[in-house]
Amino acid sequence: MEKNVKVHCLTNPVTMQSVANVLLAAGGSAVMAQDEQEVEEITAICQATLLNTGVPDERKIRSCILAGKCANRLGHPVVLDPVGAGASKFRRKKIGQLLQSVVPSIIRCNQEEASALLRAEDEKEFLVLGTERQKIEGTAESCQQDGDAVFSGIQSGGVESSLELELEKARRLAVRLAKKYRCTVCMTGEQDVISDGERVKVISGGDGRICRITGSGCMLSALCALKCGDGTDSFEAAAEAAETWRHCAERAGETVDEKEEGIGSFQIRLLDALSLKMEMERGRRMEVQSRMKQNKKRYISPEQLRLYAVTDRKWLAEGETLETVVETLVRSGVTCVQLREKHASDEEIISEGKKLNEICRKHHVPLIVNDRPDLAKKIGAAGVHVGLSDMGIEKARELLGEDFIIGGSAHNVKEALQAQKAGADYIGCGAVFGSQTKSDVTTLAKEELCAICEAVEIPVVAIGGITAENIKELTGTGIDGVAVVSGLFAAKDKPEMVRRFLKAFEMKKVLTIAGSDCSGGAGIQADLKTMAANGVYGMSAVMALTAQNTTGVQGIMEVTPEFAGQQIDSIFTDIRPDAVKIGMLSSGEIIHVVAEKLKEYQAEHIVLDPVMVSTSGHRLIQKDAEQSLKKELFPLAELITPNIPEAEVLSGRKIKNAQDMESAAEKIVEEYGCAVLLKGGHRINDANDFLCTGEKKVWICGERVENPNTHGTGCTLSSAIASNLAKGVGMEEAVQKAKEYLTEALKEQLDLGAGSGPMDHTLGKIIFE
């Protein structure tokens, strides 16, 4: 919050004081007026209006309507908290009337209230919510995670948590309500769902104790009003408020001493957490401001360059205009916009630029003007992009001073370093995939792009022919974002296209289904370390605990098949993995459950390390389990990674040399239909593996590293391959990169334990100190 935002609160008598305190703690202030004779005057001197219908009566609703209409006229944001909207006919009617007269920016409600607001129109929604809802229809709301004061005394016993809707239903509910009232909905519950009808954000975390506090929902509504009172887009404001509130609840929960303190202390800690968070943010903001002042430079962060939309009217469909399309794109999540209209006159660029600038400013997205520093200045844009045949960067800086962003183009490392030296704030590199928008371009090789990213300190964006499909080929190049013309402007469904582009930047998630190695060198421990080092988010479903160390295995305790399945359910129903690595599964029953679950969830990119025979030749799983593995899991795998003894069992052939390896791998591919990476190991060669995918047969050569500590190399290799596949890398490159990672880990020469020790999965790098 930059300035002290005043929120006009028409509030709930039960929570009036809490609302005032929360606004003060968050750095704003509350002004409370309710009489019809003064509400409009007070609305006008505040920056936001909060309509909490609280304990409604005719006069209160009339005042809410007057204040809401006045705020609408003045363009001030209005937050509506329709307390207990479905609890009585009177409430339903009065809140309905209010919504006919006032356009809210945000409706902050719980799921019951959301349904009640939709109910008049669509009775079916209630049926979808199930019988539990019917039990309380027309009565009070449940605990509802936001503890609204009015109803905290009349909860209908025993139905609280069973009233929570499944997330998907909650999402649909929020989207429908947002569409119906053309506003943002901030719907609290087990998880908070924020939607403006197009965008949806789900927020989790917090602390269950918050629902035992009177008025926590009212306080959140006040935070929503405060956030949008400073001009923040209502969707962002609601999401920020809900995130802040859950964060504060978590902090409060952590600081309450459960033995000594009760719910009263929790409430105080909640306020403490809020004020401390705001203090910290204020401190950080001042630091950034003073840094910006010192540098006197407009700063563009790598995040702001993530999805950079570059205009070209030629891609617009009938009925579309640059303004409507840019508005849709930035609302959907585009992070930067460039006005690039090669055939427009100066006057047209200035007038179009001013309109786009307004839209971009509203959504806090920088507008950059192509080629012309002079026009960027006239428009008041955030910056300019100049190429090699335009005005040079130094000259542009002279003209614009230190406050404008300047982007430069580069096609090789030398040009990139020159642009950086000349004072560019970011670099655009292309055309990475050719282009139908710009004809006079040469294609920039991926290797050159990697070298540029490595060489410069400033952010780099790739440009040219980038689509939601081919963007994954840019994974691992080091770019900070992509600049896109036709891929966005010619898209039919633009919000969906933005979502697809942004998804490419999301952190990828990988699941390991394997056994634990308490000594940390192999099994799920090695898998998780490998995933972290390879930049993906690791998750694990533990199939067995082993007591082992570098000298051997001392004990095994399997989980039950039911529990094995339960873990996989927990993972897939919340954080869907982009790839799965399967390691040691010791019984046929567990293998069966794993196969069924992976089929049920249609898991992708399954890499299976068939831990059947140790490198020394010992069988590690029972015969029936081996059959289940072959019959049930191999057909689901994209790749299996046997060592030589395992490949001998699978192919039924002896493997004595490289040629035997090739024919054994081909036989396995033929029989089981999945790709095979046959690991050379010390019996044939130390570092070369044979990859056979059916279409392609290739030796993947690696560097031989003298290191006796090889505990967990198989787990590490397969996890690294799964991580690469999750990032969208093709199979051959995924294997090649995984082998390089393994080589580096071996080269660290970690030497722990009495036997064959583990590797250093961090490659000796400490990422936080």
Active site residues: 679, 710, 712-715
Q: Which amino acid is at 425?
A: D
Task: Provide the β-strand partners of residue 516.
Answer: 545
For 309, the token pair is 């939309």
Q: Cα angle vertex 289, ends 288, 294, to 5°?
A: 95
Q: Is 540 annotated as a binding residue?
A: no
Q: Is 121 annotated as a binding residue?
A: no
Would you count residue 390 as binding ligand LCLJCK34 (CB under 6 A)? yes
CA quadruple 331, 336, 340, 344: dihedral positive or negative?
Answer: positive
Largest CA distance in the chain: 96
Site for ligand LCLJCK34 in 71-130 (CB under 6 A): none
Q: Which amino acid is at 37?
A: Q
The Cα–Cα gap between 647 and 665 comes to 7
Among ligand TZP, Mg ion, ligand LCLJCK34, none, what binds residue 297 when CB lies within 5 to 8 Å by partner kind?
none
The Cα–Cα gap between 404 and 414 comes to 24
The minimum distance between CB 437 and ligand LCLJCK34, in angstroms, equals: 9
Of the candidate residues 16, 483, 584, 759, the single one contacting ligand LCLJCK34 (CB under 6 A): 483
Q: Is 284 annotated as a binding residue?
A: no
The minimum distance between CB 423 and ligand LCLJCK34, in angstroms, equals: 16
The Cα–Cα gap between 726 and 474 comes to 14
The minimum distance between CB 381 and ligand LCLJCK34, in angstroms, equals: 14
Quick check: helix, strand or coil at residue 755?
coil
State which residue, 395 or 682, has the beta carbon closest to ligand LCLJCK34: 395
From the number of C-beta atoms within 10 Å of its C-beta (0-12, 13-18, 19+), residue 766 rates as: exposed
Q: Which residue is nearest to Mg ion (CB)?
A: 387
Q: Is 661 annotated as a binding residue?
A: no
**Candidate segments 5-13, 390-398, 430-438, 619-627, binder of ligand TZP by CB under 6 A:** 430-438
**Candidate segments 77-85, 290-298, 392-400, 479-487, binder of ligand TZP by CB under 6 A:** 479-487
The minimum distance between CB 431 and ligand TZP, in angstroms, equals: 4
Among ligand LCLJCK34, Mg ion, ligand TZP, none, what binds residue 475 when CB lies within 5 to 8 Å by partner kind?
none
Q: Is 32 annotated as a binding residue?
A: yes
Q: Is 18 annotated as a binding residue?
A: no
Would you count residue 463 as binding ligand TZP (CB under 6 A)? yes
- Ranges of beta strands (E only) in 149-199 are 184-188, 192-195
State which residue, 21 or 470, has the beta carbon closest to ligand LCLJCK34: 470
Identify the CA nearest to 641 among candidates 536, 743, 721, 552: 721
For 183, the token pair is 């506003």
Identify the CA nearest to 266 among candidates 277, 278, 252, 282: 252
Cβ neighbours of 334 (radius 10 Å): 24
Identify the CA nearest to 538 among candidates 505, 517, 509, 566: 509
Q: Is 195 annotated as a binding residue?
A: no
Q: Cα angle vertex 24, ends 22, 25, to 5°?
A: 65
Would you count residue 464 as binding ligand TZP (CB under 6 A)? yes
CA quadruple 666, 672, 674, 680: dihedral positive or negative?
Answer: negative
Judge if the upstream peptide bond of residue 174 is cis by omega within 30 degrees of 0: no
Of the candidate residues 371, 448, 609, 660, the single one contacting ligand LCLJCK34 (CB under 6 A): 371
Alpha helices in 26-110 (DSSP H): 39-45, 58-74, 89-101
Q: Cα angle vertex 646, ends 663, 761, to 5°?
A: 110
Site for ligand LCLJCK34 in 681-700 (CB under 6 A): none
Among ligand TZP, ligand LCLJCK34, Mg ion, none, what binds residue 173 when CB lies within 5 to 8 Å by partner kind?
none
Q: Is 370 annotated as a binding residue?
A: yes
The minimum distance between CB 476 and ligand TZP, in angstroms, equals: 21
**Candidate segments 59-67, 180-188, 384-392, 548-556, binder of ligand LCLJCK34 by CB under 6 A:** 384-392
Whole-angstrom Cα Rg for the chain: 30
State which residue, 64 or 381, has the beta carbon closest to ligand TZP: 381
State which residue, 463 or 717, has the beta carbon closest to ligand LCLJCK34: 463
Q: Is 108 annotated as a binding residue?
A: yes
Q: Is 98 annotated as a binding residue?
A: no
Site for Mg ion in 363-422 (CB under 5 A): 371, 387, 390
Cβ neighbours of 662 (radius 10 Å): 16
State which residue, 232 or 338, has the beta carbon closest to ligand LCLJCK34: 338
The minimum distance between CB 343 and ligand LCLJCK34, in angstroms, equals: 12
The Cα–Cα gap between 230 and 654 comes to 73
468-472 contacts, C-beta under 8 A, 24 or more apart: 468/497, 468/500, 468/501, 468/503, 468/504, 470/433, 471/501, 471/504, 472/504, 472/727, 472/728, 472/729
Rounded to 5 degrees, φ, ψ at 124 are -60, -35
Q: Is 390 annotated as a binding residue?
A: yes
Quick check: helix, strand or coil at residue 89?
helix
State which residue, 339 or 466, has the beta carbon closest to ligand TZP: 466
Of the candidate residues 56, 86, 366, 430, the single one contacting ligand TZP (CB under 6 A): 430
Of the candidate residues 94, 133, 269, 340, the single one contacting ligand LCLJCK34 (CB under 6 A): 340
Would you count residue 714 as binding ligand LCLJCK34 (CB under 6 A)? no
Chain centroid to Cα 594, Å, comes to: 27
Q: Report whether 45 contacts 217 (CB < 8 A).
A: no
Q: Is 465 annotated as a binding residue?
A: yes
Would you count residue 486 as binding ligand TZP (CB under 6 A)? yes
Quick check: helix, strand or coil at residue 406?
strand
The Cα–Cα gap between 659 and 97 comes to 81
Site for ligand LCLJCK34 in 300-329 (CB under 6 A): 308, 310
Among ligand LCLJCK34, Mg ion, ligand TZP, none, what binds residue 487 when CB lies within 5 to 8 Å by partner kind?
ligand TZP
Of the candidate residues 104, 197, 373, 487, the single one contacting ligand TZP (CB under 6 A): 487
Would you count residue 68 as binding ligand TZP (CB under 6 A)? no
Would you count residue 465 as binding ligand TZP (CB under 6 A)? yes
* Residues binding ligand LCLJCK34 (CB under 6 A): 308, 310, 338, 340, 370-371, 385, 387, 390, 407, 409, 428, 430, 438, 461, 463, 483
* Residues binding Mg ion (CB under 5 A): 371, 387, 390
Q: Which residues make up each annotated binding site for Mg(2+)?
A: 371, 390
* Residues binding ligand TZP (CB under 6 A): 430-431, 435-438, 441, 463-466, 484-487
